[in-house]
Structure 1
Amino acid sequence: MPSNSLEPLQRQIFVQFSEAQIPLQTLALSPTTSQTFHHLKLSLLPNPAQSSNFYFTLNGRTLDDSAPISRAPIANFSTLILHGKLRGGGGDGGATGAESRDCYLNMYAEKKPDKVDPNEQRLSKWLNCALSYEPLREPCVIDKLGNVFNKEALVEALLGKKLPKAFRHIRGLKDMMNIELSWIPGIEKGHGGTQFQCPITGLEFNGKYKFFALRGCGHVLSAKALKEVKSSSCLVCHEEFEESDRIVINGSEEEVAVLRERLEEERMKIKEKKPKKAKNGQVGDQIVGVKQKASAKGEGNGNGKADSNGSAKRFKAADLAPANANKEVYASLFTSSRKSNFKETFSCRSLPLGRN
């Protein structure tokens, strides 16, 4: 409808309130050039004082209260929606509940940790490598604290010096032990679920039950099997083992603390057994043994090896002179043992050679 039409405008429109309890109203408008949407609100609302809390929209677009109705692009049988303004929440002059913008932003500064399913976390620890988080695949190893690894991943990290701080107690191949996991019959390798079990009781290797690895043979058995069949030998290969040879797999904090103390004790014993090295690079107790052996044989007769006190003696050619030879003459064949008191000067170089 052109806005410059001089004919009286007779339009039938619908007014709908956004609140469901107010029914749809039908109005027949013949607006004048001076009638605005504000005047229309005053005629519809029971309390004109609340007109500032409402506004009109047409096809999702907000209509200005001061705009004349006659100039608005409202077609016949159009529907105007009267909305009530929301109070508070920010953006309309209300309070946001925050003292400042920084206070509001700090609400989202720290990301809340995602909730982890404890069952999924437990399964991941028993079915995946503790280092690479890949599914366990043979060959598998454990460290002396009961963590399970894929051997290939652990060796690569060890050679590349990329072990995390949590696994710095692993210093070499001697700190890892090969284990023998028993596959569940009928389960395909690498399918992603529980693949291993106790070869004696059939309990699944999934964290619900306690398992031990035996140091000698590396077989992995459930605690129930070792408890019911009391034996000092492996129930699979019958190799003898001691109580200290049982390493609990993925144990509790208390069990890991016991294994850590055992690891430190073993390293202290190895350190005490190593002989101390002397400054010259030779082992100290070997030097003492050689000295004692030399003194017991009575060596040290002037041949330059050792004297009766075990101390080294400097070699002298005169000590090895033949029986009928003059020691000084014999020594002069090897060294210049005779020293002259004659001091050479520039002016005496022309003297006869005999003088020198």
Structure 2
Amino acid sequence: MESQKKLRVFVRSPDLVLPSRALTLAPDLTLRRLKLAFLPQSLLSQALTIDSLYFSLNGKPLPDDSSLAAAGVPDFSALTLRLRLRGGGGDGGATGAESRDCYLNMYAIKKPDKVDPNETRLSKWTTCALSAEPLSPPCVIDRLGNLFNKEPLVEALLHKKLPKEFSHVRGLKDMIPIHLTPIPSAAVSETKFQCPITGQEFNGKYGFLAIRGCGHVLSVKALKEVKSSTCLVCHKEFSDMDKIVINGSAEEVRVLREKMEEERGRLKVRKEKKVGACLSGTKHANDEKGGILDNGKKDGRAKRFKAVDVMPTHATKEVYASIFTSSKKSDFKETFTCRSLPLGRN
């Protein structure tokens, strides 16, 4: 029986100020056992430590009794161990005027879980915008700077199941392949990728740009410090129009959308001009001169080419024509190999 595939998980605890660790775990491991393995012995001696802590994934709390697989923890994910805050009295939660029904009704309505903004930021830069799976090459971006794994995006496009917010992706031309530089495996990091020039992590704390021509992803800092019109990785020429901001602000996305609409407008005008030229017949204006139409057939209205039309100066017409064909077909008999001479001359 084959063993289950191990999960590589990044665990951190900012509330306890513990060092972050990268762990390789079995999918059937429960989150409670993971807490016992992660916490040092000095904290385990406290009675309320285990129950007062919980794991969260992308800001969503996970139950202690569930396993990693049951909780939907994917490979290369980041788990955060946080303190569970409890009411300690004196917080206005109970007064002498309240009945037991009022107290129970106050907690009957389930409040939405508070989402950690840091987890939301990290998820936006480390997962696919469509499938929410961890970024895994081949990766692409659209013209507005959203990050995708290519395979789920192509499948959604083929089956016409793209969400409304990605309706601007109409075909493969709207998918720009990108090259993400991986971080060395020995380094402990929130993400798997970095800038190949500055080493800044691809985690949303720094600005990143993708070059449309070659697809290399560089930090804004690298392009500011090194003034160049060529890619700093492959040295391919590019212009400002080729820069696409990844996960940009609302203003940056608006500028990218305007560029996209402007480019599509130019392509539409060019296509209309081409169709109009074909319908007006200007494309075949020179057919009568050459005598050949676009389909390779001869035009009966065109003038047939004759060798004597380009005869050199001072040349005899009959002699020049005899180079290419017999001038007196009754005297000569031609075959596919030779031109025979009249009887009595051979």
> What TM-score comes out, normalization by structure 1 length?
0.50
The residue that corresponds to 1:283 in the other structure is: 278
Structure-to-structure mapping, 1:43-82, within 5 angstroms: none
Structure-to-structure mapping, 1:245-260, within 5 angstroms: 245-260=242-257
**Candidates 249, 258, 263, aligned match of 2:260:** 263
- Give the greater-gyration-radius structure (CA): 1
* Structure 1 residue 149 corresponds to structure 2 residue 142: no
CA distance in 1, matches of 2:204, 2:290: 66
The residue that corresponds to 1:118 in the other structure is: 117
Whether the aligned pair in 1 keeps the contact of 2:141 and 2:177 (CA below 8 Å) is: yes
* Structure 1 residue 196 corresponds to structure 2 residue 206: no
- Shift in Å at residue 114 of structure 1? 2.7
- Shift in Å at residue 115 of structure 1? 1.7
The residue that corresponds to 1:75 in the other structure is: none
The residue that corresponds to 1:184 in the other structure is: 183
* Structure 1 residue 89 corresponds to structure 2 residue 99: yes
- 1:166 maps to amino acid: E
SS of 1:203's equivalent in the other structure is coil
CA distance in 2, matches of 1:194, 1:209: 13
Whether the aligned pair in 2 keeps the contact of 1:275 and 1:283 (CA below 8 Å) is: no
- Shift in Å at residue 290 of structure 1? 3.6
CA distance in 1, matches of 2:153, 2:198: 30
- 1:146 maps to amino acid: G
The residue that corresponds to 2:131 in the other structure is: 132
Structure with larger RCO (C-alpha < 8 A, sep 6+): 2
- Shift in Å at residue 89 of structure 1? 2.5
**Candidates 221, 225, 236, aligned match of 1:224:** 221
The residue that corresponds to 1:210 in the other structure is: 207
CA distance in 2, matches of 1:288, 1:184: 57
Structure 1, unmatched stretches of 5+, are 1-85, 98-103, 298-303, 307-356
- Shift in Å at residue 159 of structure 1? 0.7
- 2:156 maps to amino acid: A
- 1:222 maps to amino acid: S
CA distance in 2, matches of 1:149, 1:118: 21
Structure 2, unmatched stretches of 5+, are 1-95, 292-298, 302-346
- 1:165 maps to amino acid: K
Q: Deviations over 1:315-340 (max 9, x none)?
A: xxxxxxxxxxxxxxxxxxxxxxxxxx
Whether the aligned pair in 2 keeps the contact of 1:276 and 1:284 (CA below 8 Å) is: no
- Shift in Å at residue 113 of structure 1? 3.7
CA distance in 1, matches of 2:152, 2:290: 57
The structure-2 alpha-carbon separation of the partners of 1:292 and 1:126, relative to structure 1 and needing over 3 Å to count, comes to same
The residue that corresponds to 1:241 in the other structure is: 238
Aligned residues: 200
Identity fraction in percent: 61
- 2:178 maps to amino acid: I
CA distance in 1, matches of 2:261, 2:110: 39
> What TM-score comes out, normalization by structure 2 length?
0.51
CA distance in 1, matches of 2:100, 2:184: 64
SS of 1:283's equivalent in the other structure is helix
- Shift in Å at residue 284 of structure 1? 1.0
The residue that corresponds to 2:269 in the other structure is: 272
The structure-2 alpha-carbon separation of the partners of 1:187 and 1:137, relative to structure 1 and needing over 3 Å to count, comes to farther
Whether the aligned pair in 1 keeps the contact of 2:209 and 2:220 (CA below 8 Å) is: yes
Whether the aligned pair in 2 keeps the contact of 1:135 and 1:192 (CA below 8 Å) is: no
